[in-house]
């Protein structure tokens, strides 16, 4: 009984860190939760990704309250991303049901390697001037400041399809794809990009969670222990994200995720 309680508290403590980091970066946190559940809690990759997705959905509710209060969410971005990511999320959920657990685990590792490279590469693509067929000028007044930028809607829509697919397949929010596309390729200010991504995550993770519940791929007790840490963590991250530069954090994050992804692929 004592071992069970200690394990519960350790998972909650680890998820506090995950929740803080995910909120700072505007991602769901699944990139850390899934490996933890596979290697430390001995859950199957399918149940681990499903449980992660469910926790991300619940924690995103509270994250969005904080960002709405700060007026940092661009709801046009949310609408564009959700329209394209939700159908992709449904399709991805069916793929998980068909694929073997080994393939899901190795594919998740490959995904981690991809996002670790993509998040660094996207920062170098700032000089790349892409002319989108449909560009919309936006102005947002938030607690952080006043921002003016142009949305590259076609680019965002394409990226959202991949984000929705990744969300359902790997139990992540999809922010690891959406944030770099918004901030580095569509030039949306990082404070708006991370907050808007968190709002998109709510809709994609909700869709994926419903599908995973249908396939019985969610471990509710584990989800509860993760949620106990994720909820305060996301609030801490949302609060400090106004003051912290995400560049250094992104570099550390990408290095760690690259190593983790490599391990998951080769084992």
Cα–Cα dist 77/153, whole Å: 8
SS3 readout for the chain: CHHHHHHHHHHHHHHHHHHHHHHHHCCCCHHHHHHHHHHCCCCCHHHHHHHHHHHHHHHHHHHHHHHHHCCCCCHHHHHHHHHHHHHHHHHHHHHHHHCCHHHHHHHHHHHHHHHHHHHHHHHHHHHCCCCCCCEEEEEEECCCCEEEEEEEHHHHHHHHHHHHHHHHHHCCCCHHHHHHHHHHHCCCCHHHHHHHHHHHHHHHHHHHHHHHHHCCCCCHHHHHHHHHHHHHHHHHHHHHCCCCCHHHHHHHHHHHHHHHHHHHHHC
- Which whole-number Å values give the CA distances from 246 to 26, 84, 139, in the listed order? 10, 27, 22
| Residue ranges of the chain with per-residue pLDDT less than 70 | 1-4, 25-28, 119-130, 241-250, 252
Q: Two tokens at 37?
A: 């559940």
Contact indicator for 47, 77 with CB cutoff of 8 Å: no
Q: Which tens digit of pLDDT belongs to each residue from 158-178?
A: 999 999 998 888 888 787 788
Q: Specify the pLDDT at position 27.
A: 66
Q: Which tens digit of pLDDT belongs to each residue from 124-152?
A: 655 556 678 888 999 999 888 899 999 99
Residue from 132, 207, 223 nearest 164 by CA? 207
Cα–Cα dist 141/5, whole Å: 46
Cα–Cα dist 200/172, whole Å: 12
Residues contacting residue 13 through CB under 8 Å, at least 6 positions apart: 229
Q: Two tokens at 262?
A: 């490599």
Q: Specify the pLDDT at position 250.
A: 66
Residues contacting residue 159 through CB under 8 Å, at least 6 positions apart: 177, 178, 181, 185
Cα–Cα dist 15/94, whole Å: 27
Domain boundaries in the chain? 2-266
Residue from 176, 19, 43 nearest 105 by CA? 43
Cα–Cα dist 110/44, whole Å: 17
């Amino acid at each position: 009984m004592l071992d069970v309680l200690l394990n519960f508290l350790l998972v909650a403590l680890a998820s506090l860190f995950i929740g803080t980091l995910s909120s700072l970066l505007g991602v769901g946190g699944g990139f850390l939760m899934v490996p933890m559940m596979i290697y430390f809690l001995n859950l199957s990759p399918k149940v681990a990704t499903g449980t992660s997705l469910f926790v991300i959905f619940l924690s995103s509710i509270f994250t969005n309250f904080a960002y709405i209060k700060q007026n940092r969410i661009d709801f046009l971005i949310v609408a564009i991303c959700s329209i394209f990511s939700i159908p992709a999320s449904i399709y991805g959920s069916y793929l998980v049901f068909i694929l073997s657990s080994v393939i899901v685990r190795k594919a998740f590792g490959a995904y981690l390697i991809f996002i670790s490279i993509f998040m660094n590469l996207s920062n170098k693509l700032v000089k790349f001037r892409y002319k989108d067929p449909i560009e919309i000028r936006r102005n947002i007044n938030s607690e952080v400041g006043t921002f003016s930028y142009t949305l590259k809607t076609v680019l965002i829509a394409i990226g959202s399809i991949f984000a929705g697919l990744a969300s359902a397949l790997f139990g992540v929010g999809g922010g690891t794809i959406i944030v770099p596309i918004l901030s580095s390729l569509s030039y949306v200010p990082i404070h708006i990009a991370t907050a808007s991504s968190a709002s998109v995550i709510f809709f994609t993770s909700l869709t994926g969670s419903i599908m995973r519940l249908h396939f019985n791929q969610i471990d509710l007790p584990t989800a509860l222990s993760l949620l106990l840490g994720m909820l305060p963590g996301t609030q801490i991250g949302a609060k400090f994200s106004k003051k912290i530069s995400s560049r250094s954090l992104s570099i550390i994050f990408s290095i760690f995720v690259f190593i983790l992804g490599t391990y998951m692929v080769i084992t």
